[in-house]
Structure 1
């Protein structure tokens, strides 16, 4: 048979296979905003702050369901006109206020429901986000609720002492303590503060007793208990016998005896426990509450002047919107949380006729996460080849012809077998090339055919109810890489370090179907500088639905719920510094930019690693002069180099 006839037969075979794979169908449904809402789970994790408007843009309602919203795309464009380059961290102070008010309202409702005679006095753990404008805003918003602060270190104590000026607000002093820490906390009572020094190590008991006698100040003390009830998920080790902080029951009794011997047992007024951050299951909290409540009651019976019970942190955030006990979600509401805290403590105290304590919680993640949105742009993409391949001819190598035949024969009945054949042929092509039996063009043609096979198989797999295990990674293999103007290590360190999930999605074009699948790669030259896990209803997905880039048109993505821990834990990998940050406040006329915190310049980050900009410039100038003398560079080129160098030092570390 002639070559032309064979090619024609292959084409006919391909056409017939294509018709079987893609039979005529009704017109494709129009993509709607509801489709985007469902795809990106916005109502699950974003309610009541984030939604989509008719233009397909993300909107922000900083006051929740109390009215007023902003178009996030329009806000970003307006910030760029203020010479603020992306990436940019946008903090909505109204969301911060709303979160704090919701927490207090839920505890007030629970206290009324269960006729709890005590009160609630929350504190914000400074370690969650130490940024000055945020802490100052929280103190301001917390005044009506006498909301306080929690310090977990001496530097955080310095922040709290200077910032917290709310009469009656608590200052919970946690973490490792030396003599200076304890003395400073005690002396702050003279300023009208209400510091509670939480004893977490036995050694701290003697330090407190000595400082009290030396300063003649009666401190308010607490003890942190190591509960047998354990947390779950990543932070489950925060409780239990091997927990980093806290006293065992035996050590608590020893503390009581030492305080009693020093005539200071009346100073012991608080019991504290913490079973871990991001508690995803409410049952875990209930177990801890029952145990802690009994310890509290027993301490009161021993003569301690108990008055506070601190349930620690752990109030979770529903990052994926699934409302389950998955580590990136939670199966309870803030109201459920408050109800259980109030009910469990009341039941235990009433049963033993012990006065009800003031309830304290150290909710940080639940207060700070929603207020911050990181917006960044996509720089470019790397895509696998797509579209119909060039037909094989008789002149092509057998491997190429085998791959083309495999491609034309793919159908819903044999796609799994075809995938294995394609993989085998590709591996053989690579081996043949390595031994010199296949040319570069033929290897390229083989790889093009392999990707064409994967593309056709993936089109079938996406419509299957069950995906075979050996094809589960095909979606990720075929995904594009979207290169983003971002450092994962600086702006989302938990994503890299512990696999924390954050909602990520386009902030515009949500009225269009996202036809691409991609993963994100940042600017660092580290292979870990990527995001390859995204929220999904059932579990975690390895690719994100995205839109194809348009020439000369920006494409913006937003990372949401990242207002807790990420900023302070970010590092300077590849010397990418802090991003630009703005604080936005909703007004009757729109919004006001309250604060602008400019991101690090190259000059600043070089200073962090002990380089002096003037020295660097001078060194380059000298090298330029030597190159001029050796006629390796012209004067014009030398000046251009030095000018570019100096300009770069004063600019943002990210790409313009």
Structure 2
């Protein structure tokens, strides 16, 4: 273990001297509550992070064991006492395992509620975090887990971690001959290796190498959907995305496999809308469209057994439960329910079997488990003067901003914060425009900068 990376468990915390100092003055419950509200920890912390009575951030690696907590400030002191310097990355493998259990449990509840007969399998994309400690913590969690590779190098790492056990492996991304050959070797080793066809040029190489190695390939197809999410990674989905087959190409692939006598090899349907999907409606729309591909492929005689909805399960970094790039407007249960219900309804309406559902949820598994603690090299504070009411003859935007200010402090309703923000932004914009056009003078503009 390098000096700047530490694996932490509640049981070992005491050995490192992570004990609350009785000499420190405890923070009042009112102060602690204010800190929780100010930094919104209760929402983005997701029961893993909290503020203790000393005002320190505490980490609960396993929310099922809430009494096992680590004081992050004391942990840093203990590491510094051993000669380690900041910055340092603290890793909590128990959080990884709890995230995996939580996602699996959400899909189990959704399947039981719907009466869904198919299985569920989480496939971890190692590109999210390739560290050995992460992959081994997940593999040894006792939970069912597959691995996803998006390149030849990643596939080599996946096969090394999978060992001699039979594992589900999904191969995405650009595939040259060596990548395809390596995936087929993994199939011969006893793994369930799904080679997902994302470009028409790949299928000929797959069939050639499969015949050369005398192995029956296990294939998937990535459908290029019209549905597209929003956010930073929206280009991963939609009709103009780089990967995936259009509807006409899916039909061509089916005919090529039928003529080659390998139609039974096509067993997995895959789509990917993008990472960190903020809006549950975008996810539901994509699943419903992809479910139509599942139905139509069955009509063509293709026995699709696995439905891989790809990634997209987001993390609420802000704790705002909104549609911003750093948040999501849904939880685990709603995510699982939307997927299971959409696929289940399509199957029931067309008399088709329920396929095994696969998700490639890497971000949602790993995001909470590491904490980077950095040394502070400087502090900058904004000095504010007390706001005063504008003059009676002041322009309407100034009056409006003052009314918003009073409403914020008098009601304290946090649910209205976004509305107040939008109102103030509009007033601020009007003042800036008015100043540029000569409607407002310098004193009036300075008023909004207090």
Query: Structure 1 CA distance, aligned partners of 2:29 and 2:51?
Result: 17
Query: Structure 2 CA distance, aligned partners of 1:415 and 1:50?
Result: 48
> After superposition, what is the alpha-carbon deviation per residue over 1:348-376, rounded to whole angstroms, capped at 9, x for unaligned?
11221222111100001110001011111
Asked whether the equivalents of residues 124 and 149 of structure 1 are also in contact (C-alpha less than 8 Å), the reply is yes
**Which has the higher Rg, Structure 1 or Structure 2?**
1
CA, structure 1 residues 166+33, in 2 after alignment: closer, same or farther (shift >3 Å)? farther
Please state how far the C-alpha of 1:165 moved relative to its aligned partner.
3.8
Query: Structure 2 CA distance, aligned partners of 1:47 and 1:276?
Result: 23
Please state how far the C-alpha of 1:301 moved relative to its aligned partner.
1.9
Query: Structure 2 CA distance, aligned partners of 1:189 and 1:255?
Result: 21
* Structure 2 counterpart of 1:381, from 379, 398, 407: 379
> After superposition, what is the alpha-carbon deviation per residue over 1:110-148, rounded to whole angstroms, capped at 9, x for unaligned?
11111111101110011111112111211212xx33301
CA, structure 1 residues 249+38, in 2 after alignment: closer, same or farther (shift >3 Å)? same
* Structure 1 counterpart of 2:313, from 302, 312, 315: 315
Please state how far the C-alpha of 1:324 moved relative to its aligned partner.
2.0
Query: What residue is the counterpart of 1:178 in the other structure?
Result: 176
Query: What residue is the counterpart of 1:127 in the other structure?
Result: 127
CA, structure 1 residues 111+472, in 2 after alignment: closer, same or farther (shift >3 Å)? farther
Please state how far the C-alpha of 1:242 moved relative to its aligned partner.
0.7
Q: How does 1:280-295 map to 2 (within 5 A)?
A: 280-295=278-293
Query: Structure 1 CA distance, aligned partners of 2:277 and 2:45?
Result: 19
Query: Structure 2 CA distance, aligned partners of 1:57 and 1:415?
Result: 46
Query: Structure 2 CA distance, aligned partners of 1:148 and 1:298?
Result: 27
Please state how far the C-alpha of 1:225 moved relative to its aligned partner.
0.6
Query: What residue is the counterpart of 1:356 in the other structure?
Result: 354
Please state how far the C-alpha of 1:168 moved relative to its aligned partner.
4.4
Query: What residue is the counterpart of 2:93 in the other structure?
Result: 93
Structure 1: unaligned runs, 5 residues or longer: 1-28, 388-406, 418-458, 474-656
Q: How does 1:580-599 map to 2 (within 5 A)?
A: none
Paired residue secondary structure (1:128): coil
Query: What residue is the counterpart of 1:64 in the other structure?
Result: 63
Q: How does 1:110-189 map to 2 (within 5 A)?
A: 110-141=110-141, 144-165=142-163, 167-189=165-187
Query: What residue is the counterpart of 1:346 in the other structure?
Result: 344
Paired residue secondary structure (1:381): coil
Query: What residue is the counterpart of 1:469 in the other structure?
Result: 428
Query: Structure 1 CA distance, aligned partners of 2:210 and 2:115?
Result: 37
Paired residue secondary structure (2:378): strand
Please state how far the C-alpha of 1:199 moved relative to its aligned partner.
0.4
Q: CA RMSD in A?
A: 2.7
Please state how far the C-alpha of 1:385 moved relative to its aligned partner.
7.8
Query: What residue is the counterpart of 1:251 in the other structure?
Result: 249
Query: Structure 2 CA distance, aligned partners of 1:52 and 1:383?
Result: 23
Query: What residue is the counterpart of 1:529 in the other structure?
Result: none
Asked whether the equivalents of residues 121 and 145 of structure 1 are also in contact (C-alpha less than 8 Å), the reply is no
CA, structure 1 residues 324+82, in 2 after alignment: closer, same or farther (shift >3 Å)? same
Query: What residue is the counterpart of 1:413 in the other structure?
Result: 390
Query: Structure 2 CA distance, aligned partners of 1:245 and 1:204?
Result: 12
CA, structure 1 residues 381+79, in 2 after alignment: closer, same or farther (shift >3 Å)? same
> After superposition, what is the alpha-carbon deviation per residue over 1:474-502, rounded to whole angstroms, capped at 9, x for unaligned?
xxxxxxxxxxxxxxxxxxxxxxxxxxxxx
Aligned residues: 382
Query: What residue is the counterpart of 1:230 in the other structure?
Result: 228
Query: Structure 1 CA distance, aligned partners of 2:330 and 2:406?
Result: 38
CA, structure 1 residues 282+411, in 2 after alignment: closer, same or farther (shift >3 Å)? closer
Please state how far the C-alpha of 1:206 moved relative to its aligned partner.
0.7
Query: Structure 2 CA distance, aligned partners of 1:151 and 1:99?
Result: 21
Paired residue secondary structure (2:127): helix
Please state how far the C-alpha of 1:305 moved relative to its aligned partner.
2.5
Query: What residue is the counterpart of 2:103 in the other structure?
Result: 103
Once the two structures are overlaid, the 10-residue window that deviates more, 104-113 or 269-278, is 104-113
Query: Structure 1 CA distance, aligned partners of 2:99 and 2:199?
Result: 33
Asked whether the equivalents of residues 123 and 362 of structure 1 are also in contact (C-alpha less than 8 Å), the reply is yes
> After superposition, what is the alpha-carbon deviation per residue over 1:444-489, rounded to whole angstroms, capped at 9, x for unaligned?
xxxxxxxxxxxxxxx999969775516999xxxxxxxxxxxxxxxx
* Structure 2 counterpart of 1:242, from 230, 240, 243: 240
Please state how far the C-alpha of 1:416 moved relative to its aligned partner.
12
Query: Structure 2 CA distance, aligned partners of 1:304 and 1:337?
Result: 28
CA, structure 1 residues 199+385, in 2 after alignment: closer, same or farther (shift >3 Å)? closer
Query: What residue is the counterpart of 1:43 in the other structure?
Result: 42
Query: Structure 2 CA distance, aligned partners of 1:53 and 1:471?
Result: 44
| Superposition TM-score, scaled by structure 2 size | 0.79
> After superposition, what is the alpha-carbon deviation per residue over 1:269-311, rounded to whole angstroms, capped at 9, x for unaligned?
0000000111111111111111111101211221223100000
Query: What residue is the counterpart of 1:14 in the other structure?
Result: none
Please state how far the C-alpha of 1:320 moved relative to its aligned partner.
1.0
CA, structure 1 residues 386+112, in 2 after alignment: closer, same or farther (shift >3 Å)? closer
Asked whether the equivalents of residues 121 and 146 of structure 2 are also in contact (C-alpha less than 8 Å), the reply is yes
| Superposition TM-score, scaled by structure 1 size | 0.55
Paired residue secondary structure (2:174): coil
Asked whether the equivalents of residues 118 and 359 of structure 1 are also in contact (C-alpha less than 8 Å), the reply is yes
